[in-house]
Amino acid sequence: MGEEAGGRVALVTGSARGLGRAIAEALAEQGVSLMLVDILADRLEETRAALEAQGASCAAFATDISVRENCIAAVDATISAFGKLDILVNAAALMRFNHATDVPEDEFWRIMQVNAGAPFWFAQAAIPHLLESEGNIVNVLSQSALMGTSYIVPYSMSKAALMQLTKSLAVEYVDKPIRINGVAPGSMMTEISTGATLPEDVDFAKMKRYSGERPPADPAQVAAVVAFISSPKASNVHGAIWTADGGVTAG
């Protein structure tokens, strides 16, 4: 593993698979120690073991981040394991395809809790530690925060809320030694999309509007953006939303 950001510690949510795991791998390549957080305990352990086999310093915390107390406990576990926290990456996400009129109430709130609520609770718990380390937060948004998207209305709402969390925290802490930014990916080859179940009577022409002209990204491509923004090389980047969507939101 590299030493570009050696000595730093990151907490990455959703790191058992997909983009979250790719982000953990990219940070490990920079020499960052990792607290891996996910609800999928078995997959999380697989990720931890794989990263440690490559020389990374890792710990894992399996929990349901829709519960505020669990978010706080994950941050506390990071401090207990590593003594500090430099980077918080809110990468965990839940997405379900459905007609807006068919979304069950419990599904709606679950998406909101995981995608928007948990990042707030993690930020609330982590910011005192990040101020001490002069660290940073990277929130993983979506192109859906920036444009209308069919069949994933609650997901799009939650990501728009996460974008405003990012910007509002950046303004509130603009005069403090902390950076807060967001990355908005487009379509990616991850289980959240490739394993999705579509509702009946889907209008694929509507979906084409936000799938873009380029192939879906490999998660590693987006992870590289997150790794850069969280690194000392991006020390002047604050309050920014970086798109990584192959040009879908360009115009």
Distance CA 159, CA 144 (A): 7
Please give the average per-residue pLDDT across 22-29, as a whole number.
98
Please give the average per-residue pLDDT across 195-199, as a whole number.
72
Kindly state whether residue 54 falls inside one of the protein's structural domains.
Answer: yes
More confident residue, 153 or 3: 153
Kindly state whether residue 167 falls inside one of the protein's structural domains.
Answer: yes
What is the tally of structural domains in the chain?
1
Kindly state whether residue 81 falls inside one of the protein's structural domains.
Answer: yes
Closest to 26 measured CA to CA, from 42, 37, 10, 38: 10
Distance CA 56, CA 109 (A): 36
Which positions are annotated as active-site residues?
Answer: 155
More confident residue, 147 or 211: 147
Distance CA 241, CA 66 (A): 24
To 5 degrees, how large is the angle CA 76–CA 59–CA 31? 105
Range of the domain at 160: 9-244
- Three-state DSSP state, 204: helix
Alpha helices in 134-188 (DSSP H): 153-172
Kindly state whether residue 2 falls inside one of the protein's structural domains.
Answer: no
Please give the average per-residue pLDDT across 165-182, as a whole number.
99
Whichever domain contains 202, its CATH number is 3.40.50.720
Report the pLDDT value the prediction gives residue 65, as an integer from 0 to 100: 99
Kindly state whether residue 183 falls inside one of the protein's structural domains.
Answer: yes
For the whole prediction, is pTM greater than 0.75? yes
DSSP character string of 72-86: HHHHHHHHHHHS---
Report the pLDDT value the prediction gives residue 204, as an integer from 0 to 100: 65
pLDDT tens readout for residues 39-93: 999 999 999 999 999 999 999 999 999 999 999 999 999 999 999 999 999 999 9
Kindly state whether residue 230 falls inside one of the protein's structural domains.
Answer: yes
Report the pLDDT value the prediction gives residue 3, as an integer from 0 to 100: 41
Residue 2 has pLDDT above 60, yes or no: no
pLDDT tens readout for residues 84-139: 999 999 999 999 999 999 999 999 999 999 999 999 999 999 999 999 999 999 99
- Beta carbons of 26 and 226 less than 8 angstroms apart: yes
Radius of gyration of the chain (CA): 17
Kindly state whether residue 3 falls inside one of the protein's structural domains.
Answer: no
